[in-house]
Structure 1
């Protein structure tokens, strides 16, 4: 992605009631050195983030993304972000987006080692070209996540429901999927429960029902999935959160990977076995996801 704009934020307390946060937002060169060497986001991946899609200058799902940022911060014992301050920062960055699709990334780090406060910043970049993935679909390889389905409840310190900066495993999974001739991966517990993709939620269509894996299974609750469920329910479809097994993924009438930037990418193959792509429904889903949503 081509970085186009960036702000560094001086985080304020979550209950700070000021109306003007402009003196806490500092424009920086997105392609110049900004962070100190002791920054824990770089040293340990110790922080949380969110990625927002921006369509023609409109940042999508700001409220749900800020709520999830706060939830991730809580799981990681980071200070709660001030939602008004972060909204002001998002509006400032979005004003630079212009036409087309862009990506705004929100980052909240524990800061400098032995420092007194967290570090926060926001970047704007041009979104990747996702037209082909939305139209033709993505081939997925299912990968063993290495633990059974009950681990999140037994070991909350694994932070399995937080969107942290520690993405080395996620990126390694995508590389492994590509080595297997696929485009992306879907994690499965070692007792056969479908979880999520490294950077996306899983959605299945079974007849007229739309199903996604239970968020209590230690997966990230997708903002795009939540919005899409609301849209589908308004059209009279049934939606549900369920325990999804590998056989359910393979047998579903259709499946998608959902994310804020790629949007709805239909699954065209699972572990080398072709899967039908519902092009008409996919186009409808993406038309909704490209419309302005707050």
Structure 2
């Protein structure tokens, strides 16, 4: 007789298979089922929405940007972050390729574009500029929209730079817009997306967390080794995403590095560097993007060994 499976809903920060493909590969290849799990992916509009869905009981786990996890815990939620889904933050401040701006310090007094005031790139801009020694009054953040609109604003001089996501950079490449990144050396670039859940859920459901992570590790390795598997999986789950092979390839060129272990990861998939997390957490609290209670927010590496067996 077939064994009953544990049902699990995961809230994703974007309704895009290509940006979350390890979940879909794990489902499509039977890796979740092999762990006794029946996982439903719920694509939403942003990390904050994913966190809110989890807090409202609509999902057990959220995939979220770390700043949104900290905002929630700073407001009183008891959450634990685990499993580094994106290995690093998917944002960079960029400027036009022919711009005389050569560093973040050159942006003092400048207008810098963001997509929207509530987006993750806005929090990233505040944090990276603060890390570089600048308060919010030392520059102006202006919402200009994404991708092509941001490129136009840099071209006509409305903004000197733009806080870009990897999706914006894909759009820039597709339209032939030359740009260059402005890097803050030493910035605590923690995991770009983390899985998070109520701390009580994590403590009470160790076998579920172990099985989920183990399936994701196997799916990530399989997809990085075989892009055709990812394209076929997303073609079945969301056919419109792969109708244009050029678009699908461009998205995967942007997203696959986020799933690839960096030298800084120095080990197994899912691991979160705790020292970098602490530095990032303190920075986010210092700019007011999370309340003081967020200082208690921890990440767990308790399951990393079992995920990577």
TM-score by length of 1: 0.30
Q: Give the structure-2-normalised TM-score.
A: 0.29
More strand by share: 1
Which one has more relative contact order, counting CA pairs under 8 Å at least 6 apart? 2
